[in-house]
């Protein structure tokens, strides 16, 4: 390993996600393994500006692999958006003899990292840490798997009460721009309908589906809605719309909320974070920079930060079909069914209009 780097700084930035601690642990211990110094930087980019950092050793990161949140804390740092702020950050890195940086965060953090890298030609590697799983260049981000498990656990509990009282529950989950959580957790928890930002199917389709559901004899239902779904209505408005149009449904709303960010990281997230942490440090030591660690087809790869922040990872459209097949449609049609998913649903809603 051609190693010019003597000290690496690691920080967690933006929205926290389960697995960030496991990533920090992996970064620190990989530095120890390669005989490189490691500094933990507190409160994201704010810690760089405030010179709030400390040298870490293997013991500094004991007992954190199983903890949610981030021991380094995270912060949204306005100053880092200014040239002056980034200049101070750079001065503090130099003062501490840090010559490489690992940034664990989402696309905002990567944008900052990229600008900083360009301004000072400072080596930076990113690790994608966000529950939304919406970063291009990686199949999974840290915290996404844990968030999915949190959501299906919540929906399972909601289903118990839904079926006891013959209610329809509208469950809102995270996802302003991406429906990964809604679609996967919706399938995993057996939701009847799933509304995601990537699909603009309108409320009529939802009503149609719920009518069919009722006709088939189902007395309770779960509809999973991503925050940024395209109906243009919030979950409470969706609930009123359903109650106004389908009075036989008793509708309740449940917003899963901030608990999706927290919790003990799943085994998947811990292993992924550990792998990404090792890979990030070794990539820096091999003189890579301005890249994000991604996982594609089980293999870790470097992906340009510039590309990572440009686009969102795409939803797996086959999952929409799976959701259709396994929801109420299968109770109503024998094969061949008109359920071939999105296309037929789009036609159905077009005909209705």
Residues that bind ligand ADP (CB under 6 A): 13-15, 45, 76-77, 80-81, 105-109, 111-112, 115, 130
Find the catalytic residue in 16, 107, 132, 269.
132
**Please, which residue, 75 or 251, has the CB nearer to ligand ADP?**
75
Shortest approach of ligand ADP to residue 185 CB, angstroms?
A: 20
Any catalytic annotation for residue 107? no
**Please, which residue, 178 or 238, has the CB nearer to ligand ADP?**
178
Task: Say if strands 124-128 and 250-255 run parallel, antiparallel, or are unpaired.
Answer: unpaired
**Please, which residue, 19 or 112, has the CB nearer to ligand ADP?**
112
Closest CB to ligand ADP belongs to which residue? Answer: 108
Shortest approach of ligand ADP to residue 69 CB, angstroms?
A: 14
Shortest approach of ligand ADP to residue 132 CB, angstroms?
A: 9
Shortest approach of ligand ADP to residue 157 CB, angstroms?
A: 28
Shortest approach of ligand ADP to residue 228 CB, angstroms?
A: 15
**Please, which residue, 126 or 186, has the CB nearer to ligand ADP?**
126
**Please, which residue, 4 or 87, has the CB nearer to ligand ADP?**
87
Rounded CA-CA distance 85/244 in Å is 53
Shortest approach of ligand ADP to residue 46 CB, angstroms?
A: 7
Three-state SS sequence of the chain: CCCCCCEEEEEECCCCCCCHHHHHHHHHHHHHHCCCEEEEECCCHHHHHCCCEEEECHHHHCCCCCCCCCCCCCCCCCHHHCHHHHHHHHHHHHHCCCCEEEEEECHHHHHHHHHHHHHHCCCEEEEEECCCCCCCCCCCCECHHHHHHHHHHHHHHHHHHHHHHCEEEEEEECCCCCCHHHHHHHHHCCCCEEECCCCCCHHHHHHHHHHHHHHCCCCCEEEEEECCCCCCCCHHHHHHHHHHHCCCCEEEEEECHHHHHCCCCCHHHHHHHHHHHHHHHHHHHCCCCCEEEEEECCEEEEEEHHHHHHCCCCCCHHHHHHHHHHCCHHHHCCCCCCCCHHHHHHHHHHHHC
**Please, which residue, 104 or 155, has the CB nearer to ligand ADP?**
104
List the catalytic residues: 132
């Amino acid at each position: 390993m051609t190693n010019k780097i003597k000290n690496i700084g690691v920080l967690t930035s933006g929205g926290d996600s389960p697995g960030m601690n496991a990533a920090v642990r992996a970064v620190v211990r990989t530095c120890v393994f390669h005989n490189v110094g490691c500094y933990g930087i507190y409160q994201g980019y704010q810690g760089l500006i405030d010179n709030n950092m400390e040298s870490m050793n293997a013991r500094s990161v004991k007992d954190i692999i199983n903890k949610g949140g981030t021991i380094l804390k995270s912060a949204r740092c306005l100053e880092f958006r200014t040239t002056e702020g980034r200049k101070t950050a750079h001065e503090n890195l130099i003062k501490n003899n840090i010559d490489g940086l690992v940034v664990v965060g989402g696309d905002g953090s990567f944008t900052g990292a990229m600008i900083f890298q360009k301004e000072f030609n400072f080596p930076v590697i990113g690790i994608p840490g966000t529950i939304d799983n919406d970063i291009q260049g990686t199949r999974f981000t840290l915290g996404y798997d844990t968030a999915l498990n949190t959501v299906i656990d919540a929906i399972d509990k909601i289903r118990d009460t839904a079926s006891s009282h013959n209610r329809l529950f509208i469950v809102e989950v995270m996802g302003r721009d991406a429906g990964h959580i809604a679609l996967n957790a919706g399938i995993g928890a057996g939701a009847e309908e799933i509304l995601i930002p990537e699909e603009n199917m309108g409320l009529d389709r939802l009503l149609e589906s719920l009518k069919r559901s009722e006709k088939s004899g189902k007395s309770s239902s779960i509809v999973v809605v991503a925050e940024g779904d395209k109906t243009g209505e919030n979950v409470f408005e969706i609930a009123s719309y359903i109650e106004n149009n389908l009075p036989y449904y008793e509708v309740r709303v449940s917003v899963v909320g901030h608990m999706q960010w927290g919790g003990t990281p799943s085994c998947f997230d811990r292993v992924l974070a550990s792998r990404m942490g090792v890979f990030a440090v070794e990539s820096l030591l091999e003189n890579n920079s301005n890249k994000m660690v991604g996982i594609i087809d089980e293999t870790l790869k470097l992906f340009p930060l510039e590309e990572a922040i440009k686009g969102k990872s795409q939803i797996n459209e086959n999952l929409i079909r799976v959701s259709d097949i396994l929801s109420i449609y299968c109770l109503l049609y024998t094969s061949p069914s008109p359920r071939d998913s999105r296309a037929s649903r789009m036609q159905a809603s077009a005909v209705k209009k």
